[in-house]
Amino acid sequence: MKTPLEALAAIRAILAESDPQTPPSAPSQWWNPSPAAYAAFASEHGVPVEAVSPWVTQPNGTLVGSPFPTLPPVTIKSEVLKYAGFGYRPNGRQALFTDTAFALRRKKCDQLAAATTPAQLEYVLTGASSIDKDSAQLQVMLGMNEMNPFSPPHVGSFKTVEAVIAELNRIQPPPLGGNVA
pLDDT tens per residue, range 60-82? 888 888 889 999 999 899 999 99
Q: Averaged over 137-152, what is the pLDDT?
A: 73
Identify the domain containing residue 109 by its residue range: 4-170
* Torsion angles phi and psi, residue 94, rounded to 5: -70, 135
Residue 20 lies inside a defined structural domain of this protein:
yes
* pTM score, whole prediction: 0.74
Exposed e or buried b per residue across 118-152, where buried means at least 16 C-beta atoms within 10 angstroms of its C-beta: eebbbbbbebbbebbbbbbbbbbbbbbbeeeeeee
Mapped onto helix, strand or coil, the DSSP state of residue 85 is helix
Q: Nearest to residue 96, comparing CAs of 60, 52, 44, 158?
A: 52
CA distance 5 to 34: 9
Q: Averaged over 134-138, what is the pLDDT?
A: 90
Residue 180 lies inside a defined structural domain of this protein:
no
Residue 177 lies inside a defined structural domain of this protein:
no
In this predicted structure, the answer to whether residue 156 has a pLDDT above a threshold of 90 is no
pLDDT at residue 26, rounded to an integer: 38
The burial class, CB within 10 Å (0-12 / 13-18 / 19+), for 88 is buried
Better-predicted residue by pLDDT, 87 or 171? 87
Residue 72 lies inside a defined structural domain of this protein:
yes
Better-predicted residue by pLDDT, 166 or 13? 166
Residue 179 lies inside a defined structural domain of this protein:
no
Residue 124 lies inside a defined structural domain of this protein:
yes
Residue 81 lies inside a defined structural domain of this protein:
yes
Number of domains in the chain: 1
CA distance 49 to 43: 8
Residue 176 lies inside a defined structural domain of this protein:
no
CB 59 within 8 A of CB 146: no
Residues in the chain: 181
CA distance 3 to 156: 35
